[in-house]
Structure formats: structure tokens, C-alpha cells
Amino acid sequence: QVQLVESGGGLVQSGGSLRLSCAASGTIPTFAVMRWYRQAPGKQRELVAAIGSGNPNYSDSVEGRFTISRDNSKNTLYLQMNSLKLEDTAVYYCNVVIFGRGSFWGQGTQVTVSS
């Protein structure tokens, strides 16, 4: 089984930065795509960024401000968030889908951006 634990969320002023981490236990293939999602109150969960063995992908709303990365030696996924906006306030979740094993989610970490 794979367990994912997010950390790094918190309260930050608009324009500030945060770095989220997602520590994974269990074996995750290096080619498996790992993703960050977020869910704001009253809204559907949305994909923020994804990284596999190729170039990362970002939603239009975070392109140029967020950077996703992974350290396979540490089994950890990161999301560097810069120039944060009020609309970035949400619970952020990491996810990995492993073929033949399933889709795994973390418990989420709250990010709150204040004016």
C-alpha cells in the first residue's frame, strides 16, 4: 500500500509563498504521475499540477507561479507556490495513480491566503 502525507500548508498573506510537501511511504514507480489537486469551499476538486517522467503540467490558474517537483530518492513530492492570491485558498491534496494498484490520496493540507 501507499500512504501519502501532505505538510507545509498554513496562513500566508497575498503575494507570499509556501512550499507544500507530500511524503510517500511504499513503493512508487519513478514513472508514475504524481499530482497536486486543490478544493476550495463549495467548489469541485481541481487539478493544479502534475509531474511524471516528462515535463510537468500546470493549470492555467497557477502557471508561472507554482512549481511542482519530486525527489524520488526521498519519495517526496513538492509544490512551491509563489505570488499567492486569495483565490489559491483551498485544501491541497497530493495524488498518485499506480497502474494495477490504484489511486492514492493524502489527507490534505490547508492553505489560506489573506489580504
CA–CA distance from 95 to each of 43, 86, 101, 115 (Å)? 18, 24, 13, 29
Measured over the CA atoms of residue 53, residue 54, residue 58 and residue 62, the dihedral's sign is: positive
What does the pLDDT read at residue 62?
98
Q: How far apart are CA 35 and CA 51, in angstroms?
A: 6
Q: How far apart are CA 115 and CA 106, in angstroms?
A: 28
Express each pLDDT in 8-61 by its tens digit: 999 999 999 999 999 999 888 888 999 999 999 999 999 999 999 889 999 999
Express each pLDDT in 80-102 by its tens digit: 999 999 999 999 999 999 988 89
Residue with cell 507530500: 22
Task: For residue 3, name the pLDDT band (cuts at 50, 70, 90).
Answer: very high
Asked if residues 77 and 50 have their Cβ atoms less than 8 Å apart, the reply is no
